[in-house]
Chains A and B, each alone.
Chain A
Amino acid sequence: MISVRDVYKSYGEVEVLAGCSVEVRKGEVIVVCGPSGSGKSTLIKCINGLEPFERGQIVVDGVEVGKRGTNLPRLRARVGMVFQQFELFPHMKVIDNLTIAQVKVLGRGGEQARKKALALLDRVGLREHADKHPGQLSGGQQQRVAIARSLALDPVCMLFDEPTSALDPEMINEVLDAMAGLARDGMTMVVVTHEMGFARKVASRIVFMDQGRIVEEGRTAEFFAEPKTDRARQFLSKVLHH
Chain B
Amino acid sequence: MYELDWSSIPGALPFLWQGMKVSLAITAVAVVAGIAWGTVLAVLRLSPARPVSLFAAAYVSLFRSVPLVMVLLWFFLIVPSLLRDVLGLSHATDLRLASAMVAFALFEAAYYSEIMRAGIQSVSKGQRSAALALGMTPLQAMWHVVLPQAFRNMVPLLLTQAIILFQDTSLVYVSALADFFGAAYKVGDRDGRLVEMLLFAGAAYFVLCCTASWAVRLLRRRVLA
The answer to whether A and B belong to the same complex is yes
Interface set of A (CB-CB < 8 Å, partner B): 45, 48, 50, 72-74, 76-81, 83, 85, 87-91, 100-101, 104-106, 149-150, 153
Task: Give Cα distance in the complex from A83 to B136, angstroms.
Answer: 16
B148 at the interface (CB under 8 A from A): yes
Task: Give Cα distance in the complex from A134 to B126, angstroms.
Answer: 15
Decide: A104 near B144, CB < 8 A? Known: A90-B149, A91-B152.
Answer: yes
B129 touches A73 (CB 8 A): no
Decide: A89 near B130, CB < 8 A? Known: A100-B144, A104-B140, A104-B144.
Answer: yes
B132 at the interface (CB under 8 A from A): yes
A76 touches B129 (CB 8 A): no
Interface set of B (CB-CB < 8 Å, partner A): 124, 126-127, 129-137, 140, 144-145, 148-149, 152
Task: Give Cα distance in the complex from A78 to B134, angstroms.
Answer: 8
A76 touches B133 (CB 8 A): yes
A45 — which chain B residues lie within 8 A by C-beta? 129
B148 touches A91 (CB 8 A): yes
A104 touches B129 (CB 8 A): no
A91 touches B149 (CB 8 A): yes
Task: Give Cα distance in the complex from A106 to B136, angstroms.
Answer: 10
Decide: A77 near B135, CB < 8 A? Known: A87-B129, A89-B130.
Answer: yes
Task: Give Cα distance in the complex from A76 to B152, angstroms.
Answer: 28
Q: Residue B130 contacts which of A79, A87, A104, A153 (CB distance < 8 angstroms)?
A: A87
Decide: A50 near B129, CB < 8 A? Known: A76-B135, A89-B145.
Answer: yes
List 28 contacting pairs A-B, 8 Å CB cutoff, sorted by A: A45-B129, A48-B133, A50-B132, A72-B132, A73-B132, A73-B136, A76-B132, A76-B133, A76-B134, A77-B135, A80-B133, A81-B130, A81-B133, A83-B126, A83-B129, A83-B133, A85-B126, A87-B127, A89-B131, A89-B144, A89-B145, A91-B148, A101-B136, A104-B144, A105-B134, A105-B140, A149-B134, A150-B133
A101 — which chain B residues lie within 8 A by C-beta? 134-136
Closest-by-CB residue of B relative to A76 is: B135
A88 — which chain B residues lie within 8 A by C-beta? 130
User: In the assembled complex, how far is the CB of residue A226 from the closest CB belonging to chain B, in whole angstroms?
Assistant: 37
B145 — which chain A residues lie within 8 A by C-beta? 89
A89 — which chain B residues lie within 8 A by C-beta? 127, 130-131, 144-145, 149
Task: Give Cα distance in the complex from A91 to B145, angstroms.
Answer: 8
A76 — which chain B residues lie within 8 A by C-beta? 132-135
Decide: A150 near B134, CB < 8 A? Known: A85-B126, A104-B144.
Answer: yes
B126 — which chain A residues lie within 8 A by C-beta? 83, 85, 87
B127 — which chain A residues lie within 8 A by C-beta? 87, 89
Task: Give Cα distance in the complex from A79 to B136, angstroms.
Answer: 12
Interface centre among A80, A87, A105, A150 (most CB of B within 10 A): A87
Q: Which 3 A-B pairs have the closest CB atoms?
A: A77-B135, A87-B130, A101-B134
Task: Give Cα distance in the complex from A77 to B135, angstroms.
Answer: 4
A80 — which chain B residues lie within 8 A by C-beta? 133
B136 touches A105 (CB 8 A): yes
Given contacts A87-B126, A91-B152, A153-B135, 4 further A-B contacts (CB under 8 A): A73-B135, A78-B135, A85-B124, A89-B145
Task: Give Cα distance in the complex from A101 to B148, angstroms.
Answer: 16
Q: Residue A104 contacts which of B124, B133, B136 (CB distance < 8 angstroms)?
A: B136
Task: Give Cα distance in the complex from A85 to B128, angstroms.
Answer: 13
Closest-by-CB residue of A relative to B129 is: A50
A48 — which chain B residues lie within 8 A by C-beta? 133
B148 — which chain A residues lie within 8 A by C-beta? 91
B131 — which chain A residues lie within 8 A by C-beta? 89
Q: Residue B134 contacts which of A72, A77, A85, A90 (CB distance < 8 angstroms)?
A: A77
Task: Give Cα distance in the complex from A81 to B132, angstroms.
Answer: 10
Task: Give Cα distance in the complex from A79 to B131, angstroms.
Answer: 13
